[in-house]
Structure 1
Amino acid sequence: MPFTLATWNINSVRLREPIVSKLLTEEGPDILCLQECKSPVDLMPLEKFAELGYGHVVARGQKGYNGVAILSKLPIQDAGDMDFAGLGHARHVAGRLENGVVIHNFYVPAGGDIPDREKNEKFGQKLDYLSDMRDWFRGSRPEKAILVGDLNIAPREDDVWNHKQLLKIVSHTPVEVEHFGAVMDAGGWSDVTRADIPQGLLYSWWSYRAKDWDAADKGRRLDHVWASADIKAAAHSSRILRGARGWEKPSDHAPVFATFDL
């Protein structure tokens, strides 16, 4: 049975419940993975989402920061979480569908502003987090798995508005891209979005700092959908709902969609 999945850094699920509900109502994905929920699970507006048909939830939360949730029309079981880099943050949760597919929902640390771990502890934490992800997938190679989330790295030259200008900007530095690639290689992951949309500039995030984000269009593709090697051929119909960035009180991220025939 095919299902459509979306991933979205919502930047506070309580504040932006109206646009989450708008997405669920208008787009109707079978599964929505949220990051940066900024709420304990018991304070997330889950009843609102259940009223819209999303009564199955797997989530991890904390007050004011981080937080990840999987909202689903389909039955889904909690498949655990990992505390990579020992940060004590709610940055990962996994759920297992009845067909055996495991969905990993990640919110990788942003890494601060200075791409130097000696001068910026947050950047070091980001690299350590990615290294732990690599080691985990190397030790337990994923099968029948999907990985989504705000990975906070735009790996390709056409995933940013200006490759040369962003080479020293956190999210597109060579060391981050190298770590990103190592995670992919360790798990045998396939980039579903770029398999479907192989050419051209493609973004999922636009800064709040831009007065007119749409006209300036200085974006980055920070949000990703991956599939394990055994099911990558089942993925199709990828898209980024750019218009959601212009909704009322928006997140600075746009949702990324993919459909899987599994």
Structure 2
Amino acid sequence: MTDRLTIATWNINSVRLRMPIVERLLRDHGPDVLCLQETKCPDANFPEGAFRKLGYEHVAINGQKGYHGVAVVSRRPLAEVERRGFCDKGDARHIAVSVPFGGTSLRLHNFYVPAGGDEPDREINEKFGHKLDFMGEMRSWLAGEEARRPAVVVGDLNVAPFEHDVWSHKALLKVVSHTPVETELFEEIRRAGNWIDAMREVVPPTDKLYTWWSYRAKDWDAADKGRRLDHVWLSQPLAGTLRSVAVLREARGWEKPSDHVPVMTVLEG
């Protein structure tokens, strides 16, 4: 008998502010596990009760007042919760849990990579330097044991690595999230652990694919100036389990939306 697992990832840009659309996602789509980024609240203020009412009784949080924050809510039990720090900053940007799957379990990593500010030069922009350092630490860690076991990396990784992950490759080459130094480092991280880019396994690299649209656009849908900043990676032991990936673009048009939309991945094993 096979086991089917649906994992959703979503930068929610304040979980308390946007709880109504989180509830909509859970009611309408019912993922087994939801990974949130940029929750923007300390652990004590996380709305656990609302999730439990919807059947998501297992909650793991790494929160921070006003900034950052990641969380995992699940219908399935969560074990071996780990919160890893990066760059000695004390930021809440990672949480890992073990989730039952296929008669055993998989390791699920939920990341919120620093955005990197506006200027792609670490000499004049400390935030950009922090982003590159954070990614450097990710590369060292995700190249080892984490990549050799059944594992999934999800989250707002804040890099659009390929030409068709942005609305205009040429226009964004000097814009943070699509600069060559970022995209090359991003792919170094993925290749170092031989991680599978699940979204591009399903959607050809020649097709446009976005998960984020700026709040600055008057009509985000018509302008369609998006970027793929949210990602799903699978370790090689899970290579044969991928069944589908869906970007819920319509969520960008929900009431009081995040600028990111959920990405839903189905595994079967």
TM-score in terms of structure 2 length: 0.95
Moved more, 133-142 or 94-103: 133-142
Match of 1:248 in 2: 255
For residues 181-210 of structure 1, the C-alpha deviation after alignment (integer angstroms, 9 at most, x for no partner) is 111012221000110111410100000000
User: Does structure 1 residue 118 correspond to structure 2 residue 123?
Assistant: yes
For residues 146-188 of structure 1, the C-alpha deviation after alignment (integer angstroms, 9 at most, x for no partner) is 0000000000100000000000000000000011011101222
Shift of residue 141, structure 1, vs aligned partner? 4.2
Q: How does 1:23-172 map to 2 (within 5 A)?
A: 23-98=25-100, 99-142=104-147, 143-172=149-178
Distance 1:23 1:101 in 2: 23
Aligned counterpart in structure 2 of residue 216 of structure 1, from 223, 234, 239: 223
CA contact (8 A) 1:141 1:188 kept: no
**What is the identity, as a one-letter code, of the residue corresponding to 2:52?**
A
Distance 1:237 1:139 in 2: 27
CA contact (8 A) 1:109 1:152 kept: yes
For residues 115-134 of structure 1, the C-alpha deviation after alignment (integer angstroms, 9 at most, x for no partner) is 00001000000000000000
**Unmatched runs of 5 consecutive residues or more in structure 1:** none
Tell me the SS of whatever aligns to 2:82.
Answer: coil
Figure out how many residues of one structure are paired with residues of the other and give that number.
262
Identity %: 56
User: Does structure 1 residue 175 correspond to structure 2 residue 181?
Assistant: yes
User: Does structure 1 residue 192 correspond to structure 2 residue 176?
Assistant: no
CA contact (8 A) 1:141 1:186 kept: no
